[in-house]
Amino acid sequence: MSNREVILKEKIHGLGAEADVVTVKIGYAANYLIPKGLAYRASKGNLRHLAALQKKRSLREAQELIDAQAAASKIRKIKLTLELATGKAGKAFGSVTTMDISKALEEKGLTVDRHNIDLAKPIKHTGDFEVPIKLHPEVTADLRIWVKGQEGEGSSGDE
């Protein structure tokens, strides 16, 4: 066949976590996963090592949960203030995006991947907002954001 079962040694995004037995293309296993030390062949002998890998996985997952809960606690205490360029009539020029929120959190000492920020669409008006941030499959924190207007100097006056 053109597929081979392997045992993952560590978490690989889009494929699985350590101790998972996955089926991949032979070339991917033989040319990438096994030579890089990311997986073993799923032979009878190697299947005996699953217990050690499962213990490593459970320790990593427990630590990820603890880290996510700590980050959630910090996020719940923060209230970000972001500025949105507006014209004389209050019309917004631009918007607040997940990238802006991620950068503002980084300035506060918290690193959050922008893909974990659950912003349905960019914020295009001033006001108070609560934005959910998914830190872990079991942990979500609501971040309070206050978006205030900053009147632009070079507004066109087309309003």
What pLDDT digit, counting tens, does each position of 99-154 carry?
A: 999 999 999 888 999 999 999 899 888 889 999 999 998 999 999 999 888 765 44
Tokens of 64: 């990820």
Q: Which two tokens stand for residue 5?
A: 């079962």
Supply the pLDDT for residue 155: 42
Q: Where are the domains of the chain?
A: 3-48, 71-151
The answer to whether 130 and 143 are in contact (CB under 8 A) is yes
CATH dotted code for 71-151: 3.10.430.100
Q: Tell me the whole-structure pTM to 2 decimals.
A: 0.65
Domain 3-48 has CATH 3.40.5.10: yes
